[in-house]
Amino acid sequence: MRTILPRFEPFAFALFRMVFGFLFLQFGTQKLCLWPNTPVGYTPTTLTKIAASIELVCGLLIMVGLFTQFAAFLASGEMAAAYFLAHFPVSVWPVVSRGVPAVLFCFAFLFITAHGAGTWSIDALWRTRVRDKEPIRSDEH
């Protein structure tokens, strides 16, 4: 097993990044577009609209792997703030305050920030193209 599984790590991480980005994006569409459903008791405020915008944009960027580390860092910070502003005052225990998704997203995005986009990402595609291009020599002008 130890020799087989490491070959799949880049692909497993890419799926992890894409799924977490897609799930995060849905929280943004739910609050901004009221799709796929309207959250119970939802009353839009400036703060929730800002949070929803971060969720929508960063979720999309993380999912496709574009500016991934910046987007994941911003999303991680938003989830930490969401936990401490909305869930922590209810209870220190995330399972009691219904803050488990915020904690999971926070640490998943912190991991993505540290790891980078990985394979199957626009960031990786750009790195490959830049690396493959030869520098222009001064005598070629």
Q: What pLDDT, in 10s, does the model give residues 24-64?
A: 999 999 999 999 998 788 899 999 999 999 999 999 999 99
What pLDDT does residue 139 have? 59
Give Cα separations from 112 to 61, 71, 72 (angstroms): 12, 9, 6
- pTM for the complete prediction? 0.89
What pLDDT does residue 81 have? 98
What pLDDT does residue 115 have? 97
